[in-house]
Amino acid sequence: MVIGDGAYIKKINRSLILQKIIEHQQISRANLSKITGLNKATISVQVSDLLDEDLIYETRPEHNSVGRRPILLSINQTAGYLLGVDFDYKNIQFTVADLIGNFVENNTINFDTEDYNEATSLLKEQIQSYQTKYAFSRYGLISCVIGIHGTVGKDEEINFIPKYQWSKVNLKKDLQNELDIHLIIENNANLSAFAEKVFHHPHNHNQSSHLLSIMLSSGIGAGRMIDWDMDKGCHGYTGEMGHMIISPFGPRCKCGNNGCWELYASEPILFNKLSEQLNKPHITHRDIKQLINKKDPVTHELFHEYIFYVAIGLNNVINLYNPGTVVLNSRVLKAYPNAIQKIKENMTSNVSQYDNIVLSELGRKACVIGACALGIQHFLGVSELFLSHHK
């Protein structure tokens, strides 16, 4: 039983009601009362407030059955919009979503600078353009959530971005000095893990209560969800799996150590080796698919080596965290036949325990999708979020 003042109880009830409306998409007041355990008077007052705020709307379904048609409640998806940003190396991806997770638009811009001030100015201009574009709605562009490929503290200050060599920068503060919008700065892998939880693994509690999402892209990062909480560690820097040392006498990494996992199992490593051995510059994902389909022996040999190193790191991570579901987000593994099975064949430890290893269906959009979902959760104030993935 929750004990507290009236305002606090009202806030909890509101959160629960919104959560169930999102989950069921359409639901009557009577069913809300039944599912939540709240009495009809409480439901009535809360629904009235939400209608006044344009956060929900009412509909009567068309059917031919005898009796009065129930009034169904749904989230007013166009009341406001969320901007998700994936701030990668010389590349920024933007996705706009409505309040039920429909993705309205997706854009990517490329740039050449590594200068912090220039990159920040570019990001600011893009955010302002989206604010103007979505100002027509009741709440406009509600918030902007930015995913960073580096360590982000619990105070949302960026500690370090290896690719840029940026250290101790406060992107949130620098943007807020010139922008009037709610901002959240978060690690990209954490946002990707949140996306997996919200869109693909929300209900299976046994496997998804401890969900680990590993991004194998330009680098390697991991996000961990325990129930509906991001596990960020003491200061917020957990999940930097790419800088786990798997070969102490290996090549030098930008983080300062030698033999980091991402020097063996990130996508650029595979691309560079293919380019060198095939004497083919500028290898693309399409090239890799074609080489795999043609059963090119060099490509298959390099994939065997690549999968071997993926399995080494994955075995270490599983031993550390004992996850339920492990989600691997990798375009190259998705292109390779039976990649998961081959990874498992390289994991022969009797100690490693997990429920399931799967390939992500969200791909390179996982970070921005998770960013939009986190924006929705914060705005609506719900503790759990269940959304459908709309491509």
pLDDT digits (tens, 9 = 90+) for 44-73: 999 999 999 999 999 987 765 566 778 999
Alpha helices by DSSP H, 184-338: 188-199, 205-208, 262-265, 267-278, 285-293, 297-321, 331-335
pLDDT of residue 101: 94
Packed helices 297-321 and 267-278: angle between N→C axes, nearest 10 degrees:
160
Instruction: Average the pLDDT over 186-197 and give the result.
Output: 95
Domain 6-75: state its class.
Answer: mainly alpha
Q: What does the pLDDT look like over 73-121, one tens digit per residue?
A: 999 999 999 999 999 999 999 999 999 999 999 999 999 999 999 999 9
CA distance 182 to 175: 10
Q: Which of 34-38, 134-138, 214-218, 334-338 has the lowest mean pLDDT?
A: 214-218
Reduced to 3 states, what is the DSSP secondary structure of residue 146? strand
In this prediction the pTM is 0.90
Percent of the chain at pLDDT > 70 equals 95
CA distance 229 to 372: 16
Q: What does the pLDDT look like over 167-178, one tens digit per residue?
A: 999 999 999 999
Hey, how many other C-beta atoms are within 10 angstroms of the C-beta on 294?
10
**Domain 81-193+366-380 superfamily per CATH:** ATPase, nucleotide binding domain (3.30.420.40)
pLDDT of residue 148: 95
Contact 73, 26 (CB under 8 A): yes
- Residue 47 is encoded by which pair of tokens? 């629904």
pLDDT of residue 67: 61
Instruction: Average the pLDDT over 10-27 and give the result.
Output: 94
Single-letter code of the amino acid located at 271: F
Reduced to 3 states, what is the DSSP secondary structure of residue 151? strand
Largest Cα separation within the chain, whole Å, is: 77
Reduced to 3 states, what is the DSSP secondary structure of residue 87? strand
Sheet holding 229-230, edge to edge: 229-230, 220-226, 210-216, 325-329, 356-359
- The answer on pLDDT for 206 being more than 80 is no
Residues of the chain with CATH 3.30.420.40: 81-193+366-380, 210-360
CATH of the domain spanning 210-360? 3.30.420.40
CA distance 254 to 153: 20
CA distance 151 to 223: 12
pLDDT of residue 63: 63
Instruction: Average the pLDDT over 300-328 and give the result.
Output: 95
Q: What is the mean pLDDT of the chain?
A: 91
- The answer on pLDDT for 1 being more than 50 is no
